[in-house]
Chains A and B, each alone.
Chain A
């Protein structure tokens, strides 16, 4: 806010005011000098922030190809000199690719599980009149209000109690439980006209068949949103993996890279390696993000609606 107000005369502060202008107004305003100043300041702020937001990623990218001394001496330089792939090679000598594989498996299983179970439960809560439906939904709303970090130690206790701690299922089973996704799916199914189901029901289709071949295909946008949110969430998950296992063979990327940087490579600055590792672990999410950006954005809004 200060950036704008200090940027010019008081009359220019209105950049802050969000307005939806009609085409006619835009044409008229383009003539006004104050608008020109306001637009200029608007761009200035945006470009400044864009720099702050993009530059760290650029540094991350180029530092991965630097040598240790180069990274420490020229942290801002965008040209590695010399250009080396040593960091990536040394990363390959660790269990990095095993962690990568574990992350892929866990994320895929969590995503598939969430999409399937969330849509089943969401549909039942939206449309199937079973006994205990409202109480179940109330329970899900209560669970939604429990802050995730509170569950960190409790989940460890239960995994131990169930005897699945330090096994593969311990990594993904708890993450499949997803109250938020059920909520989003329920909200979506409520927007589908009942008449569609009634028409299909007359044909004598079973409830599951009706759900699977009539309702689910109509829920494609919501399903994609859940898919993306789940993939991103489980790929980036850290604290759960921290407590769910101990065996280095069960490390996921987040946990593996975290331990890598805090000791495994010995003392001294290992910035090129940590930048290379963080770069590689960002790429899959970045690809999904740029391919499905609009779903991310609708997901951010849908996710917040529950709040």
Chain B
């Protein structure tokens, strides 16, 4: 409703330019958007408003959160998650650690893999490129539940992956049941520390609810199986984005660089990469936003275990709200997660902007416009170029 009234004001200011909005047109316009606006208000804005209230209340799931027995508790729920020494805080920072390692591995690997596959598929000399493109993209359109079940089988103790590892003389772990931290293991194998008696300097230092030793665990074996699952599923989508961007790199510049004697790697660095920079930023941003929301795969494969090493904020907030009836905690966690996603997205955009020279920025804008035009064109003709 607020949207409507403030919108009316801005509409009025534009009135002279558009030569006057007739009542008929205005009515038609509102009739056309009304169903969608109603649905979005009802199932996006209203839910957020209600959840904001719940996150500041002591509602325990009985009756309506708006009933008079529910009390306003200020920032108590947020404090329990972030500052007070409690199991809730420990769980939450454990989930941040897990998801942090997950993001740190998934985002770069899926971006590089997508760019690699797109670069190869962009070679006109290769045959059967559309076959490969389909093969790599197909997992992206399938159900996360179905894919998770398949990976649960592939990575089971006696599954396909361990059988392959057996062929080369390796004994595979129980994957989804293995809570050992990879960084612990890796640095243990390198002799940096002894896993059985970790350095007391690390175990005795507590930062944000966890000991330094726990923070340095790395992703667990179970989490790395989920990481592989997700990279396998999402790479195809990003590959398509890179492929579209690569096809927009002007041939003339490539040729000019070739005449100048630049080899392919130099051409990639100096010509291709600057041109696809906006797409790289887009893929990183979409990757970052997506990876902080991981939920389905966790629910199907591990439900947060083993020993909480695959808990993520999204999954944790769900269990606190729906399983424990601690709705204030659950909703507050969701909003903290929201803040984290916004924080990293903004940070990433700033980092990219600072590194780019002014000329670069101009080029990006041009490329962006081209990409937008291309999208419109694609939609118009219904076929990818």
Residues of B within 8 A of A29 (CB): 125
- A133 and B11 in contact (CB under 8 A), knowing A76-B163, A305-B372? yes
Q: Please tell me if the beta carbons of B36 and A153 are within 8 angstroms of each other in the complex.
A: no
Whether B137 sits at the interface, judged by CB under 8 Å, is: yes
- A236 and B51 in contact (CB under 8 A), knowing A20-B124, A147-B293, A221-B380? no
- A13 and B371 in contact (CB under 8 A), knowing A191-B376, A301-B244? no
The CA of A38 and the CA of B371, in the complex, are separated in Å by 29
C-beta contact mask, A209-234 vs B, less than 8 Å → 1, else 0?
00100000000111011000000100
Residues of B within 8 A of A243 (CB): 318, 322
Residues of A within 8 A of B247 (CB): 20
Q: Please tell me if the beta carbons of B32 and A120 are within 8 angstroms of each other in the complex.
A: yes
Which residues of chain A in 18-64 are interfacial with respect to chain B, using CB atoms and an 8 Å cutoff?
A: 18-22, 25-26, 29-30, 35, 38-39, 42-43, 45-46, 49-50, 52-54, 56-57, 59-60, 63
Q: Please tell me if the beta carbons of B149 and A278 are within 8 angstroms of each other in the complex.
A: yes
C-beta contact mask, B268-297 vs A, less than 8 Å → 1, else 0?
100010000000001001100100110110
Closest to B250 in A: A20
Closest to A242 in B: B299
Q: Please tell me if the beta carbons of B142 and A177 are within 8 angstroms of each other in the complex.
A: no
Residues of A within 8 A of B35 (CB): 117, 120-121
Residues of A within 8 A of B43 (CB): 151, 155, 158, 173-174, 177
Contact of B47 among A151, A178, A294 (CB under 8 A): A151
The CA of A275 and the CA of B232, in the complex, are separated in Å by 18
Whether B197 sits at the interface, judged by CB under 8 Å, is: no
Q: Please tell me if the beta carbons of B29 and A124 are within 8 angstroms of each other in the complex.
A: yes
Whether B183 sits at the interface, judged by CB under 8 Å, is: no
Distance (whole angstroms) from the CB of A19 to the closest CB of chain B = 5
Q: Please tell me if the beta carbons of A298 and B379 are within 8 angstroms of each other in the complex.
A: yes
Whether A187 sits at the interface, judged by CB under 8 Å, is: yes
Residues of B within 8 A of A10 (CB): 265
The CA of A103 and the CA of B299, in the complex, are separated in Å by 20
Q: Chain B CB within 10 Å — which of A134, A149, A224, A262 has the most? A: A149
- A282 and B146 in contact (CB under 8 A), knowing A50-B132, A156-B322? yes
Closest to A163 in B: B64
Whether B210 sits at the interface, judged by CB under 8 Å, is: no
C-beta contact mask, B144-158 vs A, less than 8 Å → 1, else 0?
111101111110101
Whether B359 sits at the interface, judged by CB under 8 Å, is: no
Q: What number of A-B contacts does a CB cutoff of 8 Å give?
A: 411
Residues of B within 8 A of A53 (CB): 135-136, 138-139, 232
Q: Please tell me if the beta carbons of B36 and A238 are within 8 angstroms of each other in the complex.
A: no
Residues of B within 8 A of A71 (CB): 153
Q: Please tell me if the beta carbons of A157 and B143 are within 8 angstroms of each other in the complex.
A: no
Q: Please tell me if the beta carbons of B47 and A305 are within 8 angstroms of each other in the complex.
A: no
Q: Please tell me if the beta carbons of A17 and B265 are within 8 angstroms of each other in the complex.
A: yes
Which residues of chain B in 23-44 are interfacial with respect to chain A, using CB atoms and an 8 Å cutoff?
A: 24-30, 32-33, 35-37, 39-40, 42-44
Contact of B116 among A1, A60, A179, A279 (CB under 8 A): A1
Q: Please tell me if the beta carbons of A274 and B26 are within 8 angstroms of each other in the complex.
A: no
The CA of A146 and the CA of B338, in the complex, are separated in Å by 8
Contact of A130 among B30, B160, B286 (CB under 8 A): B30
Closest to A25 in B: B255
Closest to B381 in A: A221
Interface segment among A80-88, A89-97, A135-143: the answer is A135-143
The CA of A30 and the CA of B237, in the complex, are separated in Å by 31
Q: Please tell me if the beta carbons of A18 and B7 are within 8 angstroms of each other in the complex.
A: no
Distance (whole angstroms) from the CB of B341 to the closest CB of chain A = 6
Residues of A within 8 A of B141 (CB): 232, 236, 285, 289, 296
The CA of A257 and the CA of B300, in the complex, are separated in Å by 10
Distance (whole angstroms) from the CB of A138 to the closest CB of chain B = 8
Q: Please tell me if the beta carbons of B36 and A132 are within 8 angstroms of each other in the complex.
A: no
Whether A167 sits at the interface, judged by CB under 8 Å, is: no
C-beta contact mask, A242-255 vs B, less than 8 Å → 1, else 0?
11000000000110
Residues of B within 8 A of A128 (CB): 25, 28-29, 32
Contact of B144 among A16, A236, A297 (CB under 8 A): A236
Q: Please tell me if the beta carbons of B321 and A153 are within 8 angstroms of each other in the complex.
A: yes
Q: Please tell me if the beta carbons of A154 and B334 are within 8 angstroms of each other in the complex.
A: yes
Q: Please tell me if the beta carbons of B237 and A300 are within 8 angstroms of each other in the complex.
A: yes
Q: Please tell me if the beta carbons of A18 and B153 are within 8 angstroms of each other in the complex.
A: no
Whether A307 sits at the interface, judged by CB under 8 Å, is: yes
Q: A38-B264, A57-B150 are in contact. List 14 more A-B contacts (CB 8 A).
A: A13-B265, A76-B163, A121-B35, A128-B29, A132-B11, A136-B33, A147-B338, A153-B334, A156-B322, A238-B145, A257-B145, A293-B134, A297-B137, A298-B384
A-B contact pairs, 25 of them (CB 8 A): A17-B267, A17-B272, A43-B126, A45-B116, A50-B135, A75-B156, A76-B160, A76-B163, A124-B30, A131-B29, A132-B3, A134-B11, A135-B11, A149-B337, A150-B338, A162-B42, A174-B39, A191-B376, A238-B144, A254-B143, A258-B300, A275-B150, A286-B138, A300-B237, A304-B286
